[in-house]
Amino acid sequence: MIETLPLKAPDPLLKIIKMFREDPRTDKIDLGVGVYKDASGATPVMRAVKDAEALLLAQQKTKTYVGQQGDVDFLKLIGQLAFGEMARDFVSIQAVGGTGALRLGADLLRESGAKRIVLPQPCWPNHPSIVRAARLEPVDAPFFNIAEQRIDMDALIGSFDHAERGDAVILQACCHNPLGADFSTDQWKALADALNARGLIAFVDLAYQGFGDGIDEDVAGARVLLERVPEAVIAVSGAKSFGIYRERVGALFVKTAEKSRPAVMSNLAAIARANYSMPPDHGAAIVREVLSDAALRASWREELDQIRAHIKRTRAQLAAERVNSLPMHLIAAQKGMFSTLPLNGDQINVLRETHGIYMTDAARINVAGLRESDIPRFVEALKAVA
């Protein structure tokens, strides 16, 4: 019966959010939640998004269902943004955020006969939960040498031997969460060769396009991989790139042979039907309006460029600091919202309890959430514990 349900442990990130909210100190610093914050500490609504919403309010004539696949114009535009012309040959379906797209992809892989998904470690903390919920086995794979702060390609590719043909490997397209460490073009090519040699499927997670080096630059490597592999599953989130976190904008794309596409679409439709039935519309409609209107698209690109420049400035400021043995200089070479510091649990607890600075238990910090005015105090706190 329901009354016999055991108490589940809180999600690690949600735990940090609760601790931060309950801390009465006015100078506390939140580096846990993965959202962009401006100089004032706010997460603003982009101008292009506001303008798109005004257009929708004035012009939208119905709130009926958008259909099982979702907004096909949104899918076309977001696909082109991410994959260029090759997106025309991908099967696509709208999802409930990037997380929902990952779950759809995992369920599809299970239906196709996959038994396990390789997870390069450290990974986004929700990846293992999604894989297990889809009744697949998560296989941890060494990915990053924290001591040397570099990607260990030999260890990662060597771990593929623990998977079987038809299994998948989750690869983050850009702005890695939690490391900020991205693959080079040559590394993407090596990954494609290794996947093809073992019959494994690339499961690409694209959540931060435009937060690293630029809209096209951030997906150049993933496009190299997608051009070289016969099959791939790609989860896309629009939350960060358009600043519409709560709208849950996502999509799943599948690369497969032309003869297999109808079956893939039918399976995705069946999975979605049994899960949420029809996708939400508002967030996808916003993205569609922004990307289909030249003026709105230009406005969005300008503001996204400003966000990326802000993140890069923060990284440069942190990298210029000298904090005992911490490799602060490497933060400038990393990309996107996140970096992970080599701190232990005791140091992280002191930062929270003594200094009011909150990060995840794994010492991931949201660089994009650090206000410039808070950098000196953050650095001094690091010096006190490192």
pLDDT-derived band of residue 330, with 50, 70 and 90 as boundaries? confident
Strand partners, 233: 203, 254
How large a percentage of the chain has pLDDT more than 70? Answer: 100
pTM comes to 0.94
d(CA 32, CA 16): 7
294-to-168, 291, 297 alpha-carbon distances in Å: 38, 7, 5
Q: What is the mean pLDDT of residues 274-281?
A: 95
Helix (H) / strand (E) element for 4: namely none
Q: Which residues contact 346 (CB under 8 A, 6 or more apart)?
A: none
pLDDT in tens, 290-304: 999 999 999 999 999
> What integer pLDDT is reported at residue 101 of this predicted model?
98
Q: What is the mean pLDDT of residues 284-295?
A: 98
Strands (E), the chain: 29-30, 91-96, 116-121, 137-142, 144-145, 150-151, 168-172, 201-206, 232-237, 249-255, 338-340, 357-358, 364-366
Q: Above 80 in pLDDT, residue 147?
A: no
Q: What is the mean pLDDT of residues 207-234?
A: 97
Q: What is the mean pLDDT of residues 160-184?
A: 96
Q: Which residues contact 181 (CB under 8 A, 6 or more apart)?
A: 144, 149, 150, 151, 334, 335
CA triplet 125, 15, 143: central angle to 5 degrees? 20
> What integer pLDDT is reported at residue 146 of this predicted model?
72
pLDDT in tens, 105-124: 999 999 999 999 999 999 99
d(CA 228, CA 240): 28
Residues catalogued as catalytic = 124, 205, 207, 240
> What integer pLDDT is reported at residue 149 of this predicted model?
75
Q: Above 80 in pLDDT, residue 12?
A: no
Strand partners, 172: 205
Euclidean distance between the first and final Cα of the chain, in Å? 49
> What integer pLDDT is reported at residue 98 of this predicted model?
97
Contact 275, 122 (CB under 8 A): no
Q: What is the mean pLDDT of residues 51-55?
A: 97
For the record, the structure tokens of 265 come out as 């679409």
50-to-72, 223, 291, 309, 326 alpha-carbon distances in Å: 22, 31, 14, 22, 41
> What integer pLDDT is reported at residue 325 of this predicted model?
82
> What integer pLDDT is reported at residue 41 of this predicted model?
85
> What integer pLDDT is reported at residue 145 of this predicted model?
82
Question: For 27, phi and psi rounded to 5 degrees?
Answer: -105, 20
> What integer pLDDT is reported at residue 323 of this predicted model?
87
Q: Above 80 in pLDDT, residue 18?
A: yes
> What integer pLDDT is reported at residue 53 of this predicted model?
97
Question: For 139, phi and psi rounded to 5 degrees?
Answer: -115, 110
pLDDT in tens, 221-269: 999 999 999 999 999 999 999 999 999 999 999 999 999 999 999 999 9
Contact 358, 33 (CB under 8 A): no
Contact 250, 99 (CB under 8 A): yes
Strand partners, 337: none
> What integer pLDDT is reported at residue 1 of this predicted model?
79
Pairing mode, if any, of strands 338-340 and 364-366? Answer: antiparallel
Residue with tokens 């990954």: 191
Strand partners, 236: 206, 251
For the record, the structure tokens of 330 come out as 């490497």
pLDDT-derived band of residue 182, with 50, 70 and 90 as boundaries? very high
Helix (H) / strand (E) element for 115: namely none
> What integer pLDDT is reported at residue 11 of this predicted model?
79
The mean predicted confidence, pLDDT, of the chain is 94
> What integer pLDDT is reported at residue 235 of this predicted model?
98
Number of neighbouring beta carbons within 10 Å of residue 65: 11
pLDDT in tens, 84-96: 999 999 999 999 9
> What integer pLDDT is reported at residue 40 of this predicted model?
87
> What integer pLDDT is reported at residue 282 of this predicted model?
97
**Mind giving me the DSSP string for 161-213?**
GGS-TT-EEEEE-SS-TTT-----HHHHHHHHHHHHHHT-EEEEEE--TTSSS
Higher pLDDT, 125 or 253: 253
> What integer pLDDT is reported at residue 386 of this predicted model?
84
Residue with tokens 């099959």: 231
Q: Above 90 in pLDDT, residue 183?
A: yes
pLDDT-derived band of residue 49, with 50, 70 and 90 as boundaries? very high
